[in-house]
Chain A
Amino acid sequence: MAESSTSAAQSLRIPIQDVQFRLTDDIIDAEQRDGLRAIREFLKGKTAYDVLPVSFRLIVLDTSLLVRKSLNILLQNSIVSAPLWNSKTSKFAGMLTSRDYINVIQYYYQNPDQMDKIDHFTLDGLRDVEKAIGTQPIETVSVPPFRSLYDACLKMIASKGRRIPLIDYEEENKREIVVSVLTQYRILKFVAQNCKETRALRKPLKDLHIGKYDNLATATMDTPVIEVIHLLASRDVSSIPIVDNEGVLYNVYESVDILTLIKGGIYTDLSLTVGEALLRRPSDFEGVYTCTELDRMDAIMDTIRRARLHRLIIVDSKGRLKGVVSLGDILRFLLLDREEEASSSAESTGGEGGGGSKEDIKHDDSLAVDPQSYQ
């Protein structure tokens, strides 16, 4: 157990084992509460702008671009999302994400005879695709860069989005400016790097009641990839765990994997199994992170500080799938646990099994900067 608690118990000279135990639990509880409070204060004291690197690159796509070309641009630049700009109205026009390509695939799947048309879709036309397949468009929320980071997080949580664009408004000539995009991963990493209070979060996952454990959508290696894509869309998650017959976790299909699958505008590879489709992954894919219910939030935050992870898949000691903790779950925990939990509309999004996703990290990359420069 934690050093401080042991020494506290000793100083109180309570030798009895179980008393010490209860005391330890109480101390951990109290410290976690203080820790969360400190983290929230930290988020309130920083602006969204503070998270940005000193120098970074931002790729904004014009909505008159062809969908096919937009995909190439994302892949060439190793990013998985981009803000859109409507040059007719001079306005920010939402985010292009892997979700849009999933919609296009589904559209194609429902209307196989429309193949020629797909090649002529522009990004403007994506809203029509959404309508045609009857999906809800993702709400376009944004925050001004100098809003507090805490507010930005709340707004992102409420919107169900995994990233939030920072849009400034130039008073001088009344124009919107896309400043950057904050992802869940980037924010969590910022907290992990700058907030030593994350070390006070010593409770294991099983006591935190975060993540999703029941009714998880899964697939096996033989599942056709198109079914997995349908699952991603219908469950509104960013990843589908791939297990064997015994439920042992082998891999995860992420919504960003779609980009490499349909690269070059080829939608024919949709007949592959998900196992085959995963061979398409870039060879530098860093792997799926797993943990058990016994892992503590401080360890998770420390891992986020050091590694690019998109979610943690919870397994048991035999490697069997138990649940999924998304970056969104972690962010909600940091902001809303206990105090605002009940009152927030964000709680309704608990169904999302895979918050952040690789998209965030990749995007993180596109901000070509050393995050150390923030410390």
Chain B
Amino acid sequence: MPSQQDRTTERSGREPSRDPSSSGSGGRIGRYQIIKTLGEGSFGKVKLAYHLGTRQRVALKIINRKTLAKSDMQGRIEREISYLRLLRHPHIIKLYDVIKSKDEVIMVIEFAGKELFDYIVQRGKMPEDEARRFFQQIIGAVEYCHRHKIVHRDLKPENLLLDDNLNVKIADFGLSNIMTDGNFLKTSCGSPNYAAPEVISGKLYAGPEVDVWSCGVILYVMLCGRLPFDDEFIPTLFKKINGGVYSLPSYLSPGAKHLLQRMLVVNPMNRITVREIMQDKWFKVNLPAYLLPPEEKNKTDDLSEIDETVVGALGRTMGYDKEEVYDALKSSKEGGGATNSEIRDAYELMKENKLMENDAGKDGLSSSPPSWSSEGLRSNPGSISRKRNEQTLTFDNPHLTNALNATDISTPNTTIAVLPSSLPTYHKANMMAMYPGMSAHLEKLAHAASSASRKSKTRWHFGIRSRSYPIDVMSEIYRALKGLGAEWAKPTEEDPWTILVRWRYMPREPLADGAELQGEQGKLMKMQIQLYQLEQNNYLVDFKFDGWWTEGDEHTMAKEKQLLRRRRSSTNMARSSSEDETLSTYPFLHMATRLIMELAVNSQAA
């Protein structure tokens, strides 16, 4: 963490005093001179700028911190952004740098001047070979990100850019992860034509399958020159998307048709995966080798293989301590906390970057802004290309399978699916469309449901948890018992953590003279109080109802302690035979509540 923070302060120090986002053309942010505002993206303003030293043109994406997910997640968000910096793929807009100030996070990103969709609008539908080239680049980039556990979730025309060599550059990868859900949904509602059914239905889980759907829509648009799902009226559009209703023009080749049909599948579980797309016949025609996933590298199970330089670089870019990185890599794959897996992901990503650089035989990749053009790669097929040609397409990357777990279906060819129109969001849209005049009434009904289902989660605890020393906890309990007028048997040495209590059950405070005791009132209740250790420095006080006191108990109480471990032994027969009476849990709950309250009062007084 230290290096990260140092850098942040350094940056802020260099920043001009005025608010960078309000600066028009001519302003400066850090070492970047702003040329003009390019537009307003989903996440804030985007400005064109150039680096004062290198004159390299870049885009500055200015994100207001207010639009970022909950403030208590800030730390995580910064880690996420740092992680995005590690993404390196010829068809993904590179994130060069991140400048942070109090109110904003400014992402310095690769600049690509054109949008793929302007190109389509100008030229109309494309020949299949041309569309396939773009599509391969898009899928290559998506595969790379999924492999590194990043789902785009918002692939749409605005995010598909073209560089001067007509290579696709995908923007905003990973940004949906750091936005609040509300924001994300709002922005995606702007152009839901590309959104997968499960996204518009508001399903909380949106995995890599949503990108496959969007890519399917994009492929359709390139091949047909129009949208597969379109309607001016949003509920109707939702209905079309959720129903998966679209037509395939007859001029499409069977291969293209087949792939589209596998991608635009409403049930995400049955949708083709990115991995399967890469094995598709139509897709593989003229597929450049560099777009294939790299050969499965030996994972970092073995400490001896940990790459020192990568660890060092991780420290510089992500701010992780060396020891932290080693610990994370040493900890088992599944084990460790979120941070450990974060570190492992970042390590894998950097290691792959490094291998790519080594293999490509040029080290300017990471530092110099100019994009790694696919032209260059094709004309210069380094050792990676050859290696990749040899490998079969059936690779099995644990990261990928991890990320794609939800789509991993062992029984193919099923038509089992969730009925889209039964999902609440869609049902509501349906009702609105059916009864346009009654929207206020319907809205009210739906609102009552959503607000009610929110708050209903109750957290359950058994007994009382405590972080105090066990001895202190025990003395607290004794004090409370004494305060309540309960009696207890002297704890044995071998088990000082169990208290056997007897306590007169008097549900109503002072009984009026002459009033008769009813039911269990006035009887002696037996209770077992036991202290358990949950984990280090965390203890649990458990209460157990142990029946009602009878004469026979007089003799057994002292002995009962030893009998605890063989509870069901027949020595208890004397007592149990006399206990055919009724049993209610209420007296016990009543007494336990009183004890808990007494403990609470004591601990506050202490």
Contact = CB atoms under 8 A, between A and B. Distances in A.
Interface of A: 57, 62, 75-78, 85, 87-90, 172-175, 199, 221, 249-252, 260, 263, 272, 275-276, 278-292, 294-296, 298-300, 302-303, 312-313, 368
Nearest to B456: A76
B445 A280 contact: yes
A224 to B, nearest CB: 15
A312 B421 contact: no
A62 B445 CA distance: 32
22 contacts: A57-B460, A62-B586, A75-B456, A85-B585, A87-B583, A87-B584, A88-B582, A173-B576, A175-B583, A260-B449, A276-B445, A280-B445, A283-B453, A285-B423, A289-B418, A290-B417, A294-B415, A296-B411, A296-B414, A299-B411, A299-B413, A300-B416
Contacts of B3: none
Most chain B beta carbons < 10 A, residue from A90, A251, A283 = A283
B452 A295 contact: no
B431 A275 contact: yes
Contacts of A77: 456, 458
B579 interface: yes
Given A87-B584, A302-B409, A289 B419 contact: yes
B568 interface: yes
Contacts of A302: 409-411, 414
B415 A292 contact: yes
Nearest to A173: B576
A189 B414 CA distance: 18
Contacts, number: 135
Given A221-B431, A284-B204, A291-B417, 5 more contacts: A77-B456, A88-B582, A291-B416, A298-B411, A368-B460
Nearest to A249: B419
Contacts of A290: 415-419
Contacts of B423: 285, 287
Given A221-B434, A302-B410, A282 B449 contact: yes
Contacts of B584: 62, 87, 90
Contacts of A252: 419, 422
B51 interface: no
B457 interface: yes
B450 A172 contact: no
Contacts of A281: 424, 427, 449
Given A87-B582, A174-B576, A282-B453, A288 B422 contact: yes
Contacts of B30: none
Contacts of A313: 419
B522 interface: no
A199 to B, nearest CB: 8
B416 A279 contact: no
Contacts of A173: 547, 576, 579
Contacts of A276: 431, 441-442, 445
A173 B445 CA distance: 51
Contacts of B430: 250
Contacts of A249: 419, 421
A283 B202 contact: yes
Given A252-B422, A289-B419, A299-B414, A90 B583 contact: yes
A283 B430 CA distance: 15
Given A287-B418, A299-B411, A302-B411, A279 B456 contact: no
A78 B582 contact: no
B414 A291 contact: yes
A280 B202 CA distance: 16
A370 to B, nearest CB: 13
B457 A78 contact: yes
A289 B449 contact: no
Interface string B364-396: 000000000000000000000000000000000
A22 B572 CA distance: 68
